[in-house]
Structure 1
Amino acid sequence: MPTVLTRLLHTGRRETRLLLALALPICGAQLAQAGMSVADVMMTGRLSATDLAAVSVGSSLWLPLMLFMTGTLMGLTPIVAQLLGGRRTREIRPHVHQALWVALALGIAAALLLWFAVTPIFALMDVPETVADRSAAYLSAVAFGMPGAALFQALRAFSDGMNHTRPSLWISLIGLAVNIPSNYVLIHGGEGLTGLFGDWLPAGFQALPALGAFGCGIATALSLWAMCLAMALYTRRARAYREVSLWHSPAPPRWRVIGALLHVGLPIGVAIFVEVTLFTLIALFVASLGEVTVAAHQVALNYTSILFMLPLSLGMALTVRVGNTLGQGRPAYARQVAWNGIAVSVLVALLNGALLWFTAEPVIGLYTHDAAVQRLALSLVLLAMVYQVSDSLQVNLAGALRGYKDTRIIMLITLASYWLVGLAGGHWLGTRGLPGLVDPMGVHGYWVGLIAGLTAAALLLGVRLRRIGKAVADGERGAIHDHL
């Protein structure tokens, strides 16, 4: 028994170190990309409320599209991780080339949607005409960046699968470095530059027009393409990828390989899209409950979303570790890797819960000085503490299952847990309560629904991982889709 315990502790220490080495750069990259959205909101908000509303409404349309593309292309990560673990590096390049074709198609499709589909959506949402016009202009500019965003995500998925997660951090910081000054120049124009640097600037700079929301869209597109080109250049020149020779002998579209990639990736994209739309729909339902409630909901959600970045990054790293280990032909050890990652995710969730407990009040005070908003936001953050463990568990269980390329079940569990339990249950509690027991709970009902939905997802994904891990370890079935 002491020998078994010693072996488990040694495995835990080794795997935890490797997992965190992969996860922390991913977390930094996620925060850098989130920083672009923060910069957009802050800079347009200083120009006018209309431009801020236009960017906010536009972001609610293009960000879900980008996350769907990101999720779909994440299917490449476990494929590359398993091939790398099995020392089949020659097979990596054609898979990445097919992922780039998929990325290009997704990026063009997303751009076309942003160019031609937003006006009917704004009419359906009854968006005020001035906001709709500026938001449409903002999205028309962002659309140019969507192919770049998709190509970057494909290359990032390849790099992550190769156990190199730091490049995505540095390149995301490059994107942020392009985004902030471009935003300032294009949103505020010459008047903003003069106010910042003085009247000594050349007349050409002082005459630059203030483009507002449209300028913000141009800056976003520029930053997306800067990230894409930087990632392409890095993967071409860095020694870490030399064995793959990624940019030699480009392969035309191969429908069998593309179909296999989509078989793994498309359910991931749908699952992420479902999660995003869950929060979008809740925000729409909460909008009818008054300004204080809407503000408190957004403050609490924004704060807890920042803390969620680390569990999310752990889940993405766990996909790589499980995939690598399976590719090495070590299914029993892959099971240990998966459950060690789950244990780490619980510890991270407890840490996040403690941070919420000690920092909620002062941090909420940074968001707003309105006492009513502060009180309501604090009560929602306390509810968020309850679901920290469930949220961290479900995202890391899903990450481990992606390492097995078992992605369709994640999509089905997500649909059932988030929409049926989380959204429908939360809406019922918020508007009706429990007849005879609990009055309508308002915004708190929606958050209780989130707790229930995340908990249901964690339980179902845990059962699935236990079954898949045991079956593969016992040789009852091979690694999922091992024919790729």
Structure 2
Amino acid sequence: MQLTAYTKEFKKNLNIAYPVMLGQLGHVLVGLADNIMVGRLGAAPLAAVSLGNSLIFIALSIGIGFSFAITPLIAEADGARNIEKGRSYFQHGIVMCTIIGLLLFGVVWFSKPVLYYLDQPSEVVDLALPYIDIVAFSLVPVMVFQAFKQFGDGLSQTKYAMYATIGANLVNVLFNYLLIYGVWIFPRLELEGAAIGTLISRFFMLGFIYFILKKKKKFSTYFIWAKKSLQQKIFKRLFNLGFPTALQMLFEVAIFTASVFLAGTLGTNAQAANQVALNLSSMTFMIAVGIGVTATIRVGNQKGQHNYEELRRIAFSTFFLVFIIEAFFALGFILLKDLLPVFYIDNAEVIALAAQLLIVAALFQLSDGLQVVILGALRGLQDVRYPTLICFFAYWVIGFPVSYLLGKESAMGSMGIWFGLLAGLTASSILLYIRFNYLSKKLIERGVIKDLL
């Protein structure tokens, strides 16, 4: 098959992906603003933000994974023009996400003492705890926001979540500036100021999307609370769809969080450098997430039409697209490795360590991007159980042992930790590709046999 068979799909893929990219990127940019502004306070405060956000991101990944179940159910009801069913899924989704947000807040809050037993610098832990107290509560509004976001995505209205996240970032930057440094009438709160800025921005994000969706006539009927009471079978369906995705996200986020803890055992500067490289790679990863959602939508559409050859071709177009984009980012990381860390912190040792890590980060851009898009394609096939097992095996049976063994100070230090990440992501992308290749060929063969009969 000629290359143009794949490249001609790039424009359509990007049109679907870009609002999702910007929406996901918004979550990371909140952390970026915190990191850049807090980094001016020194290595210890930056390391504390890294440590605090490591717990928050684990919780957030679980919650977002569950919320992803809302989108296909809303889309299914919308395709059938069944507003009553769509409204029920939407309202059950809001209740589910609210409960999950409260549970995650409680889990993070009660997990704080664990940080003292993970061999982290004591000064970093002491700074991180007040930060965690505030940011953990922001999990509640952000999870309710996710319910509205996934509802909008299910109706193919992805732009409103994008507007909300862009606005939230502006609010976050403003209040960070005022509260971290104590500008004008505001007190100088440093790390706690960054946490309050994040909390305010996430309530703004929720309020924005709620009011903009509610005032739109085409959404108004969904906001009329259903007369029927909440039904267990609908919660069960949401759970069965969301739980495997939550585990997939948890396994990946947890391996990166483990890198934060392992870096902390090497000292404050190593942990700060790890956070710089991790934040930069997280931003490029969100581009791949957008293409992964596109893969889910387009593969799912072709599956519904039983057009399996087109399904395979379109899926491969998303694989090629993400490979090209991530190769561009990889080159940028290599060329700008000494410059990018300067935006975060003015510490020569941290900058030098981060520059080394960005070389490894450049290498795993390709693996990381491919694996998340292939996961999206498999989700479009409604294949979730085996990919979850693959993710666990790749990250925790292959990746983490390499990070642990090579990440010791007597071995390769920070570079060793990131070589473990590279090993896990590469294994994941290869195994997931094998899985998709097998399933897509099997579907084509079944289609051919069916036609012959």
Does the TM-score normalized on the shorter chain lie above 0.5?
A: yes
Does the 8 A contact of 1:322 with 1:404 survive in 2?
yes
Q: What 5-or-longer segments of structure 2 have no aligned partner? A: 448-453
Change (3 A) 1:233 1:335: farther
- 1:67-86 aligned within 5 A: 67-84=61-78
- 1:24-423 aligned within 5 A: 24-44=18-38, 55-84=49-78, 91-115=85-109, 117-125=110-118, 135-189=128-182, 192-193=183-184, 206=185, 209-238=187-216, 241=219, 245-250=221-226, 252-290=229-267, 293-328=270-305, 330-367=307-344, 373-423=350-400
Please give the alpha-carbon distance, in whole angstroms, between the structure 2 residues aligned to 1:44 and 1:386: 28
Does the 8 A contact of 2:47 with 2:271 survive in 1?
no
Structure 2 residue aligned with 1:199? none
Aligned length: 446
Over residues 202-236 of structure 1, what are the superposed CA-to-partner deviations in whole Å (9 max), with x where a residue is unaligned?
Answer: xxxx4x54444444333322221221122122222
Change (3 A) 1:339 1:126: closer
Q: What is the CA-CA distance between 1:423 and the residue it aligns to?
A: 0.8
Please give the alpha-carbon distance, in whole angstroms, between the structure 1 residues aligned to 2:129 and 2:333: 37
Does the 8 A contact of 2:288 with 2:369 survive in 1?
yes
Please give the alpha-carbon distance, in whole angstroms, between the structure 2 residues aligned to 1:229 and 1:350: 38
Over residues 2-30 of structure 1, what are the superposed CA-to-partner deviations in whole Å (9 max), with x where a residue is unaligned?
Answer: xx86xx846752x3222201222222223
Q: Which moved more, 1:256-265 or 1:368-377?
A: 368-377
Change (3 A) 1:52 1:393: closer
Change (3 A) 1:401 1:416: same
Please give the alpha-carbon distance, in whole angstroms, between the structure 2 residues aligned to 1:50 and 1:283: 14
Q: What is the CA-CA distance between 1:461 and the residue it aligns to?
A: 0.8
Change (3 A) 1:147 1:347: same
Q: What is the CA-CA distance between 1:394 and the residue it aligns to?
A: 0.5
Q: Which moved more, 1:144-153 or 1:414-423?
A: 144-153
Change (3 A) 1:442 1:140: closer
SS of 1:246's equivalent? Answer: helix
TM-score normalised to structure 1 length:
0.81
Does the 8 A contact of 1:69 with 1:106 survive in 2?
yes
Q: What is the CA-CA distance between 1:417 and the residue it aligns to?
A: 0.2
Does the 8 A contact of 2:288 with 2:372 survive in 1?
yes
Identity of aligned residues (%): 30
Over residues 377-398 of structure 1, what are the superposed CA-to-partner deviations in whole Å (9 max), with x where a residue is unaligned?
Answer: 4443333333232221101001
Q: Which moved more, 1:336-345 or 1:132-141?
A: 132-141
Change (3 A) 1:423 1:234: same
Please give the alpha-carbon distance, in whole angstroms, between the structure 2 residues aligned to 1:57 and 1:298: 9
Q: What is the CA-CA distance between 1:399 and the residue it aligns to?
A: 1.0
Over residues 35-90 of structure 1, what are the superposed CA-to-partner deviations in whole Å (9 max), with x where a residue is unaligned?
Answer: 22233334445568776565443322222211210122112233444555566665
Does the 8 A contact of 1:79 with 1:323 survive in 2?
no
Q: What 5-or-longer segments of structure 1 have no aligned partner? A: 194-205, 433-438, 477-484
Change (3 A) 1:381 1:340: same
Over residues 175-194 of structure 1, what are the superposed CA-to-partner deviations in whole Å (9 max), with x where a residue is unaligned?
Answer: 112222333444455xx21x
Over residues 93-124 of structure 1, what are the superposed CA-to-partner deviations in whole Å (9 max), with x where a residue is unaligned?
Answer: 32222221210110111222244x04432443
Over residues 334-359 of structure 1, what are the superposed CA-to-partner deviations in whole Å (9 max), with x where a residue is unaligned?
Answer: 33322221121222222222323333
Change (3 A) 1:18 1:79: farther
Please give the alpha-carbon distance, in whole angstroms, between the structure 2 residues aligned to 1:80 and 1:28: 22
TM-score normalised to structure 2 length:
0.86
Q: C-alpha root-mean-square deviation of aligned residues, in Å? A: 3.2
Does the 8 A contact of 1:84 with 1:327 survive in 2?
no
